[in-house]
Amino acid sequence: MKILNIVGARPNLMKIAPLIQAYAGLDGAESLLVHTGQHYDANMSDLFFHQLGIPEPDLNLGVGSASHAVQTAQIMTAFEPVVLEQKPDAVLVVGDVNSTIACGLVAVKLGVRLVHVEAGLRSFDREMPEEINRVLTDAISDLLFCTEPAGVANLRDEGISDERVHLVGNVMIDTLLQHRERAESSTVLADLGLTAGAYAVLTLHRPSNVDDPEVLGRLLDVLEVVAADGPVIFPVHPRTRTLLVRFGLDARIEAIENVRLLEPVGYLDFLKLMASARVVLTDSGGIQEETTILSVPCITLRENTERPITAELGTNQVVGQDPERILAAYRRALSGELGAGSVPPLWDGNAAQRIVEVLRKAL
Ligand code: UD1
Ligand code: UDP
For 41-100, what is each residue's pLDDT tens digit? 999 999 999 999 999 999 999 999 999 999 999 999 999 999 999 999 999 999 999 999
Burial class of 2 by CB neighbour count within 10 A (0 to 12, 13 to 18, 19+): middle
Which ligand 2 atom lies nearest to the CA of residue 282? 19
Instruction: Please check whether residues 278 and 352 belong to one and the same domain.
Output: no
In a domain, 236, yes or no: yes
Integer Cα distance of 235 and 355 in angstroms:
32
The CB of 11 under 6 Å from ligand 1? The reply is yes
CATH code, 313: 3.40.50.2000
| Pair (320, 294) in one structural domain | yes
Q: Which atom of ligand 2 is least distant from the CA of 176? A: 15
For residue range 217-260, list pLDDT tens digits in order.
999 999 999 999 999 999 999 999 999 999 999 999 999 999 99
CA of 227 to the centre of ligand 2 (A): 22
Is 175 within a domain?
Answer: no
Rounded Cα–Cα distance for residues 338 and 19 (Å): 34
206 in contact with ligand 1, CB cutoff 6 A: no
- The verdict on 157 and 224 lying in the same domain is no
Same domain, 121 and 161: yes
Distance 239 CA to ligand 1 centre (A): 6
Same domain as 356, residue 253? no
Let me know whether 10 and 139 are in one domain: yes
Residues 50 and 150 in one domain: yes
In a domain, 341, yes or no: no
Kindly state whether residue 342 falls inside one of the protein's structural domains.
no
Q: Is the pLDDT of residue 348 over 90?
A: yes
Q: What domain range includes position 29?
A: 2-170+347-362
Q: How many domains does the chain have?
A: 2
Region 166-185: mean pLDDT is 98
**285 within ligand 2 shell (Cβ under 6 A):** yes
Judge if the beta carbon of residue 14 lies within 6 A of ligand 2: yes
Same domain, 184 and 72: no
Residues 73, 98: one domain?
yes
Give the pTM.
0.98
What is the Cα–Cα distance from 174 to 176, expressed in whole angstroms? Answer: 6
Mean pLDDT of all residues in 190-212: 98
Looking at the fold, whether 11 and 102 belong to one and the same domain comes out as: yes
**Are 212 and 280 part of one and the same domain?**
yes
How far does residue 361's CA lie from ligand 2's centre (Å)? 32
Beta-strand ranges (E) seen in the chain are 2-7, 30-35, 59-60, 90-94, 113-117, 143-146, 165-167, 200-203, 232-235, 259-262, 279-282, 298-300, 316-318
Atom of ligand 1 nearest to the CA of 285: 12
Q: 44 with 128, same domain? A: yes
- Judged by its nearest atom, the ligand closest to the C-alpha of residue 171 is 2
pLDDT at 337 over 90: no
Closest CA to 234 of 216, 207, 211, 247: 216
